[in-house]
Amino acid sequence: MKLHFKSKEMARQHVWDTLKEQRQARFPFPIHGRIPNFKRAEAATARLFEVEPWKNAKYLKINPDSPQRSARMEALRRGITYFMPTPRLKAGFKKFDPAYIGAENFAKATALSTSEEWAEEIPLETIPQVDAIIAGSVAVTRTGKRCGKGEGYSDIEFAILSELGHDPVPVATTVHQLSVVDDFPRDDIDLPLSLVVTPDETIEIATPYPSPNGINWDLLDEKDLKDMPVLRDLKKLAGK
């Protein structure tokens, strides 16, 4: 059966419903409205770190969601420093340095509920060029389309790095096989995927979609700037 959806929301609902019906979801519940955690997420992580540049990265940006906890753990084990956006970008980005954290604290440092103790606050302008990005997703396609839970934070995070002058880097996502669908619409500001990894398959995108160039300030209002102070800071840095 071909899984073509007329909207991202239809694709999301299909994935959430199917993961639940087939009992492939994992805590936290309910999965609807979240980047869904899934069974064997660790196997997807193991596959991901077989691929360059994630395998030998120095710096990564990794999302804070549950299915990517094993990716955060593996990064620390490999001596990779990662930068994690705070939920809803309320406090910008935090730095997680394995040398500072110590191996005995990796488990707590990678759990969102206990990560704050080992998170280092970092001013936007001091974030180094990352080698690659790991993102969470709800639905993806084999051509590199991605949709998250519908709030646009991953897209904004990518645009922030671009606005800071960082070069575009490859973006990978780890998902359940049920998250891989045939098609749904895509917007120009969407995060472009270079790699999709499931517990049983590694899908390299031959021709990723173009990367968005910085933030489209016209799409943001005063409420966005108030809710995400990091955007206010960035606007000042950019002199806008």
Is the residue at 2 inside a domain? no
Q: What is the pLDDT of residue 239?
A: 67
Domain count for the chain: 1
pLDDT band at 232 (very low <50, low <70, confident <90, very high): confident
- CATH code for the domain in which residue 140 is found: 3.40.50.10420
Tell which wins on pLDDT, 214 or 175. 175
Q: What is the pLDDT of residue 226?
A: 86
Is the residue at 213 inside a domain? yes
pLDDT band at 170 (very low <50, low <70, confident <90, very high): very high
Beta bridge partners of 171: 133
Is the residue at 1 inside a domain? no
Q: What is the pLDDT of residue 151?
A: 87
* Tokens linked to 97: 């340095």
Residue 113 and residue 48: Cα distance in Å, rounded? 25
Tell which wins on pLDDT, 240 or 85. 85
**Which one-letter DSSP state was computed for residue 167?**
P
Is the residue at 115 inside a domain? yes
Is the residue at 54 inside a domain? yes
Q: pLDDT digit string (tens) for 87-115?
A: 778 888 999 999 999 999 999 999 999 99
- The burial class, CB within 10 Å (0-12 / 13-18 / 19+), for 182 is middle
Closest alpha carbon to 41 in 106, 116, 141, 137:
137
Average pLDDT along the chain: 95
DSSP string, 181-238: ESB----TTSPPPSEEE-SS-EEE-SSPPPPP-S--GGG--HHHHHH-HHHHHHHHHT
Is the residue at 57 inside a domain? yes
Is the residue at 3 inside a domain? no
191 contacts 211 by C-beta, under 8 angstroms: no
Q: pLDDT digit string (tens) for 185-209?
A: 999 999 999 999 999 999 999 999 9
Where do runs of H (alpha helix) occur along the chain?
Answer: 8-21, 41-48, 69-77, 98-101, 106-109, 153-163, 222-227, 229-237
What percentage of the chain exceeds 90 in pLDDT?
Answer: 77
Is the residue at 78 inside a domain? yes
Closest alpha carbon to 215 in 166, 164, 153, 159:
159
Which domain, by its residues, includes 16?
Answer: 8-237
Torsion, Cα 196 27 36 179, to 10 degrees, reads 60
Peptide linkage before 53 cis (omega within 30 of 0): yes
136 contacts 41 by C-beta, under 8 angstroms: no
pLDDT band at 240 (very low <50, low <70, confident <90, very high): low
